[in-house]
Chain A
Amino acid sequence: MHALFTVFGKEVLENFRDRRTLLSALLFGPLFGPLLFGAMVSRMLDQSVTESDEILSFSISGDAKAPNLTRFLESHGVHLKKSTLSESEARAEVSRGKTQVVLIVPSEYAERFSAAMPAPLLLVADSTDSQARKTAERARMLLANYNSGIAQLRLQMRGVDPLLAMPIAVNEVDIATPSGKAVIVLGFMTYFVLFAVLMGGLYLAIDSTAGERERGSLEALLCLPVARLSLVGGKILATCAFMALSLAISLAAFVVVFQFVPLERLGMSTNLNASTAVLLFVICLPFIPLGATLMTFVASFTRSYREAQTYLTSVLLVPTLPIAFASIYSLRTKSSLMLIPSLSQHLLMTSVLKDEPIAIADFWVSAGSSLFFAAFLGWLVVRLWRRDALLG
């Protein structure tokens, strides 16, 4: 036990003196998530604001041939840019990106309109440009309104009740937004938290295994009258300590970021304060030994620092898989899902952030399964360290 703490103390001291480890474990890893998250959410909010509030504006060609339509559009607040573009000119302008949307009134419009025949209109836009697509969509809706207005007038003039032409009236009730966005946002956030946890221990896991071998200090260490369990246990414990520190920094940064991001506009209550952060910390705590043993296990296989780095970068993606799975199938918190590490932490954290109650049994199952996997991986690591091939 004494040897285990000696190894632990030395690894912590050594890595606190290593600038690369400190930068990645305590700065880049834990702060990357909160900053990106803040920027992303602000951007999402900006976008949803512009969509509904912005003035609709597009070009119109041949407006003189449809004065009634032009008046209608202008009375609905459309900013019309008058032009004299032909169809081919309009296509060219749009494809070059000079104009987003052009409404063309062809020459036969007036004649067909007076004859109560369908009068053609051309709406030119590039649907791969998301901004143009939204403008065109809004223009189409206004034109549809104009269309049904004229149709009703014509029916009335001919003594027909316009309601006859409206057999059904569909009323949409959209409950997806904005809380749907909130789910995605929470998924990002919990991933960033788990990412920070892993980043915190990444370099330590490499340095204390593959790094030690590459430096040539491993052989001398293995000659000591110390059980391999103590050696590798101390190293894993040190990795855990850095991961816990990184987690704490990350959560603190999220608490700060949440003060500045108006999440309530996405339908989320901003209840990430100091006490919920502590709760999130406790939820993530069992994930730490799992991550540490997983990374140490992978790094113990590799022969060099560089090789370990390559493999461990993919390990960083492992916790995304269950979370991605959860958002694709929109999984809800279920006790059986608590058996899956990273997914269970994601679900529990999401519940806390949404201010939903969490079952204490779920927490124990989540913690238990993570610790079980950690113990299994730890056992594998010790076995690996007992092999002759460890020295390579």
Chain B
Amino acid sequence: MIEVHSLCKRFGTVQAVKDLSFVAHNGQISGLLGPNGAGKSTCLRMVYGVLTPDSGSARIDGLEMRGETSLARARLGVLPHATGLYGNLTARENIAYFGALHGISRASIRARVTKLSRTLNMQEFIDRRAKGFSQGQRIKVALARALIHEPQNLLLDEPTNGLDVMAIRNLREMLLQLKAEGHCVVFSSHVMQEVAALCDQVVIIGQGRVLAHDTPMAIRAASGAPTLEAAFIQLLDGAGASI
């Protein structure tokens, strides 16, 4: 479970995130939806603790990200916006490196990489150096890297960026699988269909604030719009934001 409580962050004169709160439950997929520059990445960065909030807090399974950082991080898998790999290491070595940094034993790393490589369909390139990987292959490795410690909670920042239809389908299945296993999954996106198809609850963010927080169905019903997209635009217009 991920709880975000009144997060605020200012960069110079820009208030990037203001008083942002939401809760993402176990066994659910939560989507952060918002236009570019709405504050999604800033919010996620504060949740996974590489950015210090000016005020407010983020909790992972009840553990404070600031204060109980290591414990909180151990329960969190992160796929950041930048999914850079080490080009001179193979996909397997890239994943194993993160496993070792989590303090996992060699034997279980080996077993988990084999399993992840099967679920993410990476057998073909698992022992190739990451230098020439396609965007899809890179995201798969980065995702495996985020899952190597079998975290209860998973944060993904725009995971479908640059993926083709097949890869998006695979990712969707994977996330549904994690949800079925009782994990808490949060991902950000600006692609409407993705969110509508996948999420149990949606947090719509505009200008650093939460504009709506409910199931896709409820958000659409509340706005009276025919689609989630129309409801989304209506909300943003109401907040005076531009896409």
Q: Which A residues lie at the B interface, using CB under 8 A? A: 2-3, 6-7, 10, 13-15, 17-18, 212, 215-227, 388, 391
Q: How would residues 80 to 103 of chain B score, 1 for a CB under 8 Å from any chain A CB and 0 otherwise?
A: 111111111100010001101111
Nearest chain-B residue to A212 (Cβ)? B84
Nearest chain-A residue to B46 (Cβ)? A388
Q: Is B80 in contact with A219, judged by CB distance below 8 angstroms?
A: yes
Q: Is A391 in contact with B50, judged by CB distance below 8 angstroms?
A: yes
Question: Given A7-B101, A219-B81, A220-B146, A225–B71 Cβ distance below 8 Å?
Answer: yes
Please report the C-alpha to C-alpha distance between residue A341 and residue B49 in the assembled complex, in whole angstroms.
Answer: 38
Q: Is B86 in contact with A14, judged by CB distance below 8 angstroms?
A: yes
Please report the C-alpha to C-alpha distance between residue A266 and residue B50 in the assembled complex, in whole angstroms.
Answer: 60
* Residue B195 at the chain A interface, CB threshold 8 Å: no
Chain A interface, >50% SS class: helix
Q: Is A2 in contact with B86, judged by CB distance below 8 angstroms?
A: no
Tally of B interface residues using CB under 8 Å = 36
* Residue B178 at the chain A interface, CB threshold 8 Å: no
Q: Give the contacting residue for B50; candidates A14, A215, A222; CB below 8 A.
A: A222
Which of chain A's residues have a CB closer than 8 A to the CB of B219?
A: none
Q: Is A223 in contact with B49, judged by CB distance below 8 angstroms?
A: yes
Nearest chain-A residue to B49 (Cβ)? A223
Which of chain B's residues have a CB closer than 8 A to the CB of A3?
A: 101, 103
Distance between A210 CB and nearest chain B CB, rounded to angstroms? 13
Q: Which B residues lie at the A interface, using CB under 8 A? A: 45, 48-52, 69-74, 76, 78-89, 93, 97-98, 100-103, 129, 142, 145-146
Which of chain A's residues have a CB closer than 8 A to the CB of B82?
A: 216-220
Please name 13 pairs of A and B residues whose Cβ atoms are closer than 8 Å in the assembled complex, sorted by A.
Answer: A10-B86, A14-B88, A17-B129, A215-B85, A215-B87, A218-B84, A220-B84, A224-B73, A224-B102, A225-B71, A226-B101, A391-B45, A391-B50
Question: Given A220-B78, A223-B50, A388-B50, A215–B101 Cβ distance below 8 Å?
Answer: no
Please report the C-alpha to C-alpha distance between residue A156 and residue B47 in the assembled complex, in whole angstroms.
Answer: 107
Closest 6 CB pairs of A and B: A216-B84, A216-B82, A217-B84, A225-B73, A215-B84, A225-B70
Please report the C-alpha to C-alpha distance between residue A226 and residue B98 in the assembled complex, in whole angstroms.
Answer: 10
Please report the C-alpha to C-alpha distance between residue A351 and residue B125 in the assembled complex, in whole angstroms.
Answer: 56
Question: Given A3-B103, A220-B83, A10–B88 Cβ distance below 8 Å?
Answer: no
Distance between B107 CB and nearest chain A CB, rounded to angstroms? 16
Please report the C-alpha to C-alpha distance between residue A2 and residue B72 in the assembled complex, in whole angstroms.
Answer: 19
Nearest chain-B residue to A3 (Cβ)? B101
Which of chain A's residues have a CB closer than 8 A to the CB of B103?
A: 2-3
Q: Is B86 in contact with A223, judged by CB distance below 8 angstroms?
A: no
Which of chain A's residues have a CB closer than 8 A to the CB of B48?
A: 223
Please report the C-alpha to C-alpha distance between residue A87 and residue B89 in the assembled complex, in whole angstroms.
Answer: 76
Distance between A383 CB and nearest chain B CB, rounded to angstroms? 14
Q: Is A388 in contact with B51, judged by CB distance below 8 angstroms?
A: yes
A223-B78, A225-B71 given. 15 additional CB < 8 A pairs?
A3-B101, A7-B101, A14-B86, A215-B84, A215-B87, A216-B84, A217-B84, A218-B84, A219-B81, A219-B82, A223-B48, A225-B69, A225-B72, A226-B70, A388-B50
Q: Is A225 in contact with B52, judged by CB distance below 8 angstroms?
A: no
Distance between B109 CB and nearest chain A CB, rounded to angstroms? 11
Please report the C-alpha to C-alpha distance between residue A136 and residue B44 in the assembled complex, in whole angstroms.
Answer: 80
Please report the C-alpha to C-alpha distance between residue A391 and residue B91 in the assembled complex, in whole angstroms.
Answer: 24
Distance between A244 CB and nearest chain B CB, rounded to angstroms? 21
